[in-house]
Structure 1
């Protein structure tokens, strides 16, 4: 069975076969419940649509875009245990504060997640064990390619629409790297944004390609930018 782009009032199914469901998650919706009964999440909506399902990866609540679910435990395990090898392309689009002049850029840093503050911290140099830094074993290398799409002037502020390609898939990677280069994602107060021109975190998961765990085929999916991103300048 294969279905594509099936719409409901609260869910857009991009792809479905006997093992997988790929959906387009809206901004403001958790990927999965934090423990509250009856909480509206992407998981609960897909469950209502398809029955028993398993989440393969997550998007932040305020990030929109492509999200993958498995229909059985074996498929979930097969993907999760080989996720970094299976995923061939991860593309995002974000609206960043300020004007970025470079057409293309490459960001490489080390990231550390503070479990108490629930924030990810960024370091430019390779980790060294020292009393004032986290243990080296807790650091993760992160690499991001960025491409400037266009500049937007809005309400006296300048923004840059940027396409990102992830070489690594770390938590909050684009948000932290954007802050690191001095151009936070618009609407991202957690990582330094001062403005919120579209009323949400301006980050969208627009492209995902991975090797299907059972057919071996490369599956490529895209998600168009939400209407809120289509700002006229």
Structure 2
């Protein structure tokens, strides 16, 4: 079964990760979709994106929900009709969903060699402790991106720059956790972030305490 991993950070929160091994047609045939969702899927130009989108519906089923329980607000943030908090992500052959009583955010990214080229767009303070010649440089850059993306989804305030508003303190990959905060309107919002690596991918998730 492509359910890859289940994580339970606390009694009110569950993370599920899916490894997308099914074909587009197999995924489409195995989930029930609202008419507007079906139109959205059919309009996607990338089969990879279609499979990622549909695999999220498989994860919803693993968590006791379906597409009819899910809706999006004007900013594109997903919500569940029962009031539980949800965040969604997919990247290449993996997707993930986190559901909680608390506000949450999650992101998965493939660890890619080209990330140093765009690092200046999402990193400022973190350059002080990163070592560009270190063997784990790309993995750490990917982790920082995932941490900031998960916080962006959690904070749900459109337009915040990763570079200007989000800060990740020094961390070691083996620890699988770090601290980060959002500096917004003269107030610092601190968070404990967890992350993990698997098969050349990084996943980070944030739970608002």
TM over 0.5: no
Name the structure, 1 or 2, with higher relative contact order (CA <8 Å, separation 6+): 1
Give 1 or 2: higher helix fraction.
2
Rg larger for: 1
Q: TM-score, normalised by structure 1?
A: 0.25
Q: TM-score, normalised by structure 2?
A: 0.27
Give 1 or 2: higher strand fraction.
1
